[in-house]
Amino acid sequence: MTPVIDHIHITVSDITRAEAFYDQFLPLVGFYLKDKEKEVIPESEYEIIEYYHQNFSLGIVSPRSAYKNEKVSRRRPGALHHLAFHVRSRTEVDRLFAQIKEFKMTIVHPPQLYPEYCKDYYAFFIKDSEGIEYEIVSFNRSSYFSC
């Protein structure tokens, strides 16, 4: 079996603010805004904005009112620690980082080598409007794992 992720849904505290972030970020990693859909189900306190790509979709979801004021902690059990997007080269990492800087997103770490992960692991880290961490990374995955 080949593992394939179909979709990821992330609950956000402010869906309008999160949408502004994801409308900027996701096109940088290959999503097209023309493939974005919104759905609201008031009786379930559920609003979703889903960004589709042929490989997988990523959705942002409104919280239930009972959880509206809770803060995100990536170290809390059950929380998403971070999500990484793989790109083909260090040049692409640097190009995306330049675009991220233009959008004034929260930068956690600028592009650099992380030899503690593997000798050619080159990445940068940002946070979204909710404090969820994202990584853009390039390394030769095939040289470390059997296919």
- Per-residue pLDDT tens over the stretch 20-75: 999 999 999 999 999 999 999 999 999 999 999 999 999 999 999 888 888 878 88
Q: Distance between CA atoms of 7 and 53, rounded to whole angstroms?
A: 10
Cβ contact 61:11 at 8 Å: yes
Whether the domain at 1-70 and the domain at 71-147 fall into the same CATH topology: yes
pLDDT tens digits, residue range 66-105?
Answer: 888 888 788 888 888 999 999 999 999 999 999 999 998 8
| Domains of the chain by residue range | 1-70, 71-147
**Dihedral of CA 118/121/124/128: which sign?**
negative
Instruction: List Cα–Cα distances, 82 to 59, 74, 122, 136, in angstroms.
Output: 15, 7, 16, 11
CATH code of the region 71-147: 3.10.180.10
Fold of the domain spanning 1-70: 2,3-Dihydroxybiphenyl 1,2-Dioxygenase; domain 1 (3.10.180)
The answer to pTM > 0.95 is no
Cβ contact 14:20 at 8 Å: no
